[in-house]
Amino acid sequence: MYSEAPSPIHTSGLPSPASAVSAALPPSRSSTTSPIPTAPPRFDASRMVIPSAAYAPQSPVHHPNPMASHMPVFPSRPPSVLQHLMRPDSITREMIFYRIKVLLTDSLPQWAGNTDGKLAIQHLTQLMVNTVIGHGRGGYLGPQGLSKVSNIFMCIGHEGARHYMCLAAASQWGDIIVFLKGELREKDGKDPMHDAEMMDMVQAGFDKKALQAYNKIKEGMSTKGRH
């Protein structure tokens, strides 16, 4: 289903780890509904796709994979450069890698501004690519896996009054599968889609979890180097 051409990753010059906690989450599905407007101007909406509709109904159709808690539904706008990639058999590992790398670069601006950060994004992207492909092969994204790369996106979720930013994908059933979830943040019940300060907070929460995931990658590489 996916072509397995390798994507070169360089491991030199990486920063020392701050912590070692994995942030990739198991499959999940949505359960609530509320409208989501256009994202604040500072986000590049053509690359970081924020859902235009909100949260799924309380009684969704039952499918074999487990349900996600409080996740927004599938967003509407894919980047124009990737709109032609519609058939599952046309999607390669490189296409998934490019899509995720673009999303993470936009969502982790402090990383993208220096060489070490760019290398970290490369490693984190590779981890997320493997996770997405693994979920596709496991049937969590539907019987045909990932139907198009624009089904991978960044979005805002919530648990009660607390919100988070995450990297996720839509299955062929319309469910949301979360791959990298930021820390939960809350500010006087504000919605990050309507409050710029709250958006900064959930972005910082995503940055923190991304760093934890990257530090775990570095630990794994160090362990392999000692054997």
Q: pLDDT of 134-149, one tens digit each?
A: 999 999 999 888 989 9
pLDDT band at 106 (very low <50, low <70, confident <90, very high): very high
Beta bridge partners of 163: 158, 185
Given a cut of 50, whether residue 118 has pLDDT beyond it is yes
Beta bridge partners of 153: 168
pLDDT band at 81 (very low <50, low <70, confident <90, very high): very low
Considering only CA atoms, which of 29, 36, 35 is closest in space to residue 58?
29
pTM of the predicted structure, to 2 decimals: 0.62
Mean pLDDT of 157-169: 96
pLDDT for 227 equals 61
Token code pair at residue 144: 């045909």
Question: Which three-class secondary structure state does DSSP give residue 10?
Answer: coil
Neighbours of 72 (CB within 10 A): 27
Q: What per-residue string of b and e applies to 51-67 under the rule 16 or more CB within 10 Å gives b?
A: bbebbbeeeeeebebeb
